[in-house]
């Protein structure tokens, strides 16, 4: 089991309203986080990477994007989690949901977007 990495917080996120949550590498000359002071928060680095055999998985299953019936037919219910591509519309999504239910495949984004 891999260790859980810390939440990488952007510097001054809690101080300044304008600063968003998206990670940015600290680059200032006197930046405490860049110098890696422990209290300033962790920096993302290669040491936090997950194991090669589990990388990209969710709950121990592979993530598969589907757009049509043929791609859904290739999916395995035991090893794959499925989610619809962004271009799949309302009608096709309903058809694919029915087929996935029959096959026992778990859909991660079953709701129709508005």
Pair 61, 40 in one domain: no
Cα distance between residue 105 and residue 61, in whole Å: 11
The pLDDT value given to residue 63: 92
Is 43 within a domain? yes
Is 97 within a domain? yes
Is 113 within a domain? no
Please, which pLDDT band fits residue 60 given cuts at 50, 70 and 90?
A: confident
What is the pLDDT averaged over residues 10-27? 89
Pair 38, 64 in one domain: no
- What token pair was written down for 37? 């002071």
What is the pLDDT averaged over residues 2-28? 86
Cα distance between residue 86 and residue 92, in whole Å: 12
Is 112 within a domain? no
Paired with 57 in beta bridges are: 62
Query: Looking at 31, 50, 69, which one is the last position of a domain?
Result: 50
* Range(s) of the domain holding residue 21: 1-50
What is the pLDDT averaged over residues 32-39? 94
Of the two residues 2 and 52, the one the predictor is more confident about is: 52
- What token pair was written down for 33? 């986080």
Strands 106-107 and 80-84 turn out to be: parallel
Overall domain count for the chain = 2
Tell me how far CA of residue 77 lies from CA of 55, 83, 86, 102, 112, in angstroms. Answer: 19, 13, 21, 11, 22
């Amino acid at each position: 089991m891999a260790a859980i990495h810390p939440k990488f917080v952007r510097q001054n996120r809690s101080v300044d309203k304008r600063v968003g949550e998206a990670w940015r590498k600290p680059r200032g000359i006197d930046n405490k986080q860049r110098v890696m002071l422990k209290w300033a928060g962790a920096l993302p680095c290669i040491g936090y990477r997950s194991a090669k055999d589990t990388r990209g998985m969710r709950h121990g299953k592979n993530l598969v994007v589907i757009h049509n019936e043929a791609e859904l037919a290739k999916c395995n219910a035991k090893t794959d989690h499925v989610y619809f591509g962004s271009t799949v519309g309302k009608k096709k999504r309903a058809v694919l949901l029915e087929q996935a239910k029959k096959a026992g495949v778990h859909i991660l984004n079953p709701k129709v977007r508005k």
